[in-house]
């Protein structure tokens, strides 16, 4: 079976408080986009195998691989057949796009189908949450308002259909834990769940990503990307998650390859 684990962008991200378990409570909007990896899973005759092409998965230890963790999550509950997993990696690492989380969740969904486990979405989401905070989002893979650690999801009516997305990744890997260490949590005066209903033309003044101030100081190049997107006519531009990918939403199709010729660039009609 071949599936296509897709990326997400964050529209706004407020870090509201530090939790007693060391994590942070947040509120953000997860929105799926079409940029995807390619994941092939087949039943194996012997033991579980994992192969990687495309962008190289840095940690070579199988037990640290998120696809393997997804397999083990199911296998630990009830023994399942070994499988061969081939991941062709396209979504950049350390970009705030949720690529690794998507790979894990799509592994769960694919195994559920291949092995005929008959698990419902709620059960799959419970497995996904044990792997990573934003993994549950990719089970339903629909726009959602996320709170707590990003694992509590409320479906929202949000469509960017007809807009044009330009996504830039400068090749900088942002460490999420380090990004959180630079943040002073603060509860916003108005919830992002209300602000998102405002016209997109108003988002620039209303919707922000708390990570940007600290990340921009350390990596001015990322802030320059955001400014270039606005200067090129973006209605709204933001860093996604803890970065370093930055996206711009445009009314019309635009070619910015010459502006960002040394960066990874992805465009999509939403």
Pairing of strands 264-269, 49-54: unpaired
Burial class (CB in 10 A: 0-12, 13-18, 19+), 149: middle
Confidence of residue 120 (pLDDT cuts 50, 70, 90): very high
- Residue 86 pLDDT greater than 80, yes or no: yes
- Contacts of 236 by beta carbon, 8 Å cutoff, 6+ apart: 11, 200, 203, 204, 207, 248, 249
Which overall architecture, per CATH, does domain 2-155 show?
Answer: 2-Layer Sandwich (3.30)
Report the percent of the chain where pLDDT is more than 90. Answer: 84
The tokens describing 143, both together, are 């726009």
ω before 244 within 30° of 0 (cis)?
A: yes
Residues noted as catalytic? 8, 134
The tokens describing 191, both together, are 């919830």
- Residue 68 pLDDT greater than 90, yes or no: yes
Q: Spell out the domain ranges in the chain.
A: 2-155, 164-269
Domain at 164-269, CATH from 3.30.70.890, 3.90.1150.10, 3.40.190.10, 3.40.50.720: 3.30.70.890
What's the angle, vertex CA 49, arms to CA 45 and CA 55, rounded to 5? 145
Q: What is the pLDDT of residue 269?
A: 94
Confidence of residue 63 (pLDDT cuts 50, 70, 90): confident
> What does the pLDDT average to over 92-119?
96
Confidence of residue 61 (pLDDT cuts 50, 70, 90): confident
2-155 and 164-269, same CATH topology = no
Pick from 127, 128, 114, 118: nearest CA to 83: 114
The CA distance from 93 to 57, in Å, is 9
Q: pLDDT tens, 22-35? A: 889 999 999 999 99
């Amino acid at each position: 079976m071949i599936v296509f684990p897709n990326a997400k962008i964050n529209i706004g991200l407020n870090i509201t408080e530090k939790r007693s378990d060391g994590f942070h409570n947040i509120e953000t909007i997860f929105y799926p986009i079409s940029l995807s990896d390619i994941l092939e899973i087949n039943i194996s005759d012997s033991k579980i195998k994992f192969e990687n092409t495309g962008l190289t998965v840095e940690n070579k230890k199988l037990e640290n691989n998120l696809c393997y963790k997804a397999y083990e999550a199911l296998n630990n509950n009830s023994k399942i057949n070994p499988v061969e997993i081939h991941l062709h990696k396209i979504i950049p690492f350390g970009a705030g796009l949720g690529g690794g989380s998507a790979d894990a969740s799509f592994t769960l969904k694919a195994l559920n189908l291949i092995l005929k486990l008959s698990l419902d979405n709620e059960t799959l989401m419970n497995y996904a949450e044990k792997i990573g905070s934003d993994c549950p989002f990719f089970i339903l893979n629909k726009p959602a308002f996320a709170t707590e650690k990003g694992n509590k999801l409320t479906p929202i009516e949000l469509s960017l259909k007809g807009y044009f997305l330009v996504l830039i990744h400068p090749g900088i890997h942002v460490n999420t834990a380090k990004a959180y260490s630079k943040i002073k949590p603060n509860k916003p005066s108005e919830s992002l769940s209300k602000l998102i209903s405002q016209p997109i033309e108003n988002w620039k003044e209303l919707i922000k990503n708390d990570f940007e101030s600290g990340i921009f100081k350390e990596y001015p190049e990322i802030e320059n990307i955001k400014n270039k997107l606005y200067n090129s006519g973006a209605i709204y531009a933001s860093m996604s998650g803890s970065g370093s990918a930055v996206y711009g939403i445009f009314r019309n199709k635009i070619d910015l390859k010459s502006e960002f010729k040394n960066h990874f660039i992805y465009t999509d009609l939403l």
